[in-house]
Amino acid sequence: MSRWSERDEREAEGVSLADGLSRRGGESRQRAVEAEPRGTEFGANRREPVQLRERSVDIRASERATLTTLGRFRVVDAADLVNDLYAGDRRLARADFEALRRQGLISSATLRNASARDSRVLTLTRDGYDVARSQAGGSQRLYWGFVKPAEAAHDSRFYRAFRHEERKLSADGHRVSRVVLDYELKRGYFARLNAPGGSLSYRERQWDAARVMHLPIIDGHAVFPDFRIEYEDERGDVGRVDIEVASDNYRGHHIATKASAGFHVYGGADVVRRFGISEGGLGGGSFPEERSAVLLL
C-alpha cells in the first residue's frame, strides 16, 4: 500500500467534505462511460480545458480516468488508485490528486485504523461529478460525495473487489461494460414493484421485478449485491457478476444468503477465515488488510 507523507495529509486538510451528505443528493440520473483504461496518453502532461459553469478547469488523461473511477464507485481508497490505476506511480498519482483537489474536483477524508496506519479515501465533489459527466456518454451512472460516512470504509473496498473480478473476466476474454451499484438496482426493482395499476398480485409483481432486474428471491425477499459488473463476451453477449463485500459485522446467515444468491463475496482476512471465502468457495477472495469504519471529516 502507498504511504502518504505528513505533507500530503496537511495539504488535504483544507478539503471540504460537506458535499452530498444525503442518500439521494449525490446521485444523478445522468449517464457516463466506463473508466478509461491506462494507455500511452495516461499521465501525459497535456491538459484540456473543461468548461464548468462560471469557470474552466484543466485536466489531463490520468486525471480524467481518476474522476471517472471515483464516479463509478463513489468512494475509493487512494492507495488502491495509486497501486492499480496508476500502476504504482505514486509521484504521478499525488500530482493528479493535488491538481484535482486544488481545482475543487475531489474531496478526501481519513479512515482511522487502530491496528494499522490511517488511510485516505477520495470522492468526487459536485463540480468533479459535473466534469466527469461532461466527458462522458453511454450507460455508466456516476456518483459523488460521502453520503453515509459510517459506510465509507466498507464502500471504499468496492474498487478493490472490482479489479479482482475484472482481471478474471479479462483473462477469459470478456470486456467490462459498466458497474451498477446497489442504489441503481434497488431503484429499478422498487420502481417496478410499486408501479401503479395492473392486475398482478404483490408476489407476482415481486417476481416480475426481480426477473427484470436479474435479482434472486430468497425467503420471500429480493437479495441485492453491493454492486454488479456487466460485461460482454467475445460474441457480444451480456453477462453479469454480482459482488458482495463482507465486513466484520456480517453474520453467518447474511453470508449464507449472499452465497445462496450466487454472489461473489470478498472480505478481509478475518472475514475470510471465519466464513471460508475462497476461489473455490464463495467465488470471491480476501483483501490484504481491512479498513476501520471511523471516518474523520
CB atoms within 10 A of CB 71: 25
Q: For position 71, what pLDDT does the model report?
A: 96
111 and 22 part of one domain:
yes
- Domain of residue 267, residue span: 159-296
3-state secondary structure 209-275: HHHHHCCCEECCEECCCCEEEEEECCCCCEEEEEEEEECCCCCHHHHHHHHHCCCEEEECHHHHHHH
pLDDT at 68 over 60: yes
Q: For position 45, what pLDDT does the model report?
A: 73
pLDDT at 291 over 50: no
Mean pLDDT score, 198-217: 92
Mean pLDDT score, 181-193: 95
120 and 186 part of one domain:
no
Name 264's bridge partners: 243
184 and 290 part of one domain:
yes
H/E run at residue 51: strand 48-52
27: in domain: yes
Name 172's bridge partners: none
44 and 137 part of one domain:
yes
117: in domain: yes
126 and 254 part of one domain:
no
Q: For position 246, what pLDDT does the model report?
A: 82
Sole residue written with cell 496518453:
41
- What are the tens digits of pLDDT across the range 78-91? 999 999 999 999 99
211: in domain: yes
- Domain end: 131, 150, 169, which one? 150
- What are the tens digits of pLDDT across the range 9-34? 333 333 333 333 223 334 443 433 44
190 and 122 part of one domain:
no
Q: For position 33, what pLDDT does the model report?
A: 40
**Structure letter (DSSP) for residue 151:** G
Q: For position 151, what pLDDT does the model report?
A: 85
137 and 21 part of one domain:
yes
32: in domain: yes
14 and 141 part of one domain:
yes
Domain count, the chain: 2
72 and 180 part of one domain:
no
Q: For position 190, what pLDDT does the model report?
A: 96
189 and 139 part of one domain:
no
Provide φ and ψ at 75, rounded to 5°. Answer: -140, 135
Q: Enter the pTM of the model.
A: 0.78
167 and 281 part of one domain:
yes
Contact yes or no for 11/128 (Cβ under 8 A):
no
Q: Give the percent of the chain with pLDDT over 90.
A: 51
1: in domain: no
25 and 100 part of one domain:
yes
Query: Which CATH number covers residue 75?
Result: 1.10.10
SS3 288: coil
Sole residue written with cell 459506510:
151
Q: For position 297, what pLDDT does the model report?
A: 29
Determine the Cα–Cα distance for residues 191 and 209; give it in Å rounded to an integer. Answer: 8
- Domain end: 108, 124, 150, which one? 150
218: in domain: yes
- What are the tens digits of pLDDT across the range 132-166? 998 876 789 999 999 887 788 889 999 999 999 99
- What are the tens digits of pLDDT across the range 235-287? 889 999 999 998 777 777 788 888 888 898 887 666 666 666 554 344 555 44
Give the confidence band of 46 by pLDDT, cuts at 50, 70, 90.
Answer: confident
Mean pLDDT score, 213-224: 94
Q: For position 288, what pLDDT does the model report?
A: 45
Give the confidence band of 98 by pLDDT, cuts at 50, 70, 90.
Answer: very high
- Domain end: 150, 178, 212, which one? 150
